[in-house]
Structure 1
Amino acid sequence: MCTMRVEVEGLRAHYGNEVLFDGESFELSGPGLILVIGPNGAGKTTLMRSLLGLVRIDGKVFINGVDVTGRPERAGKFVGYVPQIGPQDLAVPISVIELLSSSLRSKLPRGSERLREIIDLLGLREILNLPFSSLSGGQRQRVLLARALAPDPPILMMDEPISSIDPAGRETIIDLILDLSKGKLLFLSSHDP
């Protein structure tokens, strides 16, 4: 089984002038599911982005023993990331298949069976040629989940993964998350308990 471990030493991070984390140290290991719950603005997204090396922090972050502090390309070797969907995502003039293919080009062999399996698992086949910006919130979320899952990373971080999904789709995604947590370390955020 792959190593699934995130170690944080002395994390100090800001959002604007507000200190969100002030010298925090902790360790996450898996497989399993870790859920961070808090209201909007509590720092859940900043925490994930800190662990992925996407924001400037003081302190150190190690993933599977590798220092990834400020180095998202290193974190990306171990972690699949499903971000929140923002307005900037709707401005991308690209089809679903182009988005998946271009973002996974360096991580998967050409014509990968794994990507086809994920597309079928998440019910994306009918929307592959549609513009990403034209999709519903739930469809966009499933596309981003496919992008994160396709390289089969040992760790998966998901920022508000079910916030824009209808009740039927929400149940499907929750079942998938619970199944994935048996073999991966999943770190999720939510404002809903």
Structure 2
Amino acid sequence: MPGFALSILPLALHLAGAPPAAASCPRQPLPPAIESAALPPLSPHVFGIEFAASPMREYPGEAWVVRLSRRNERSEATLDIVRLRRQMTCNRYDVIGRWTAPLPRADYARIAAQVAPFTVPPADIVLRRDRGQHGVLDGTLIAFRAQAPNWRIERDLNAGDPIGARLAPIFHAVVARHVPAAALPDADWRRRSAPENR
């Protein structure tokens, strides 16, 4: 019965693991690294500090995302570090490295104090977004977010501007303490490996 054989073919492909059409590359611009699917969005009820660095002149493009989060001021924190690589045939990222570790309260407090000048919102603002250096063709784009249950700040910067230049080393030091030396990016968040090893 040829008709029967043809009608079960889609089911057989699905059971065999063939990707459905919906799983093909979505039509979209490349999302900012900080909004990639590598880490789920933070609940608005937790404390969080997020950072992403995206060098503009790497091929294929890579990015780093660093997140510190904790449920409340008394709880221990969690550190997540994700290394991303842009897919060559689709505007999305693959995860090529992931590191997760518990973070003692003292370490979270120390990093929070370092970034405090960039996280204190004005008294009358609940959400603040600084949108800036997206048009650059060189350098490293920096995304920074900080939140507590009553406020949230988002900044889009560049590693070469005054704020980006102060924030990037703070998170680079965090990455250097938790990522193997062979995987570490340079100070501009670019790959250290030679082109033939990419």
Q: TM-score, normalised by structure 1?
A: 0.31
**Higher helix content, 1 or 2:** 1
Q: TM-score, normalised by structure 2?
A: 0.30
Tell me which structure has the larger Cα radius of gyration: 2
Q: Which has the higher contact order (CA 8 A, sep 6+)?
A: 1
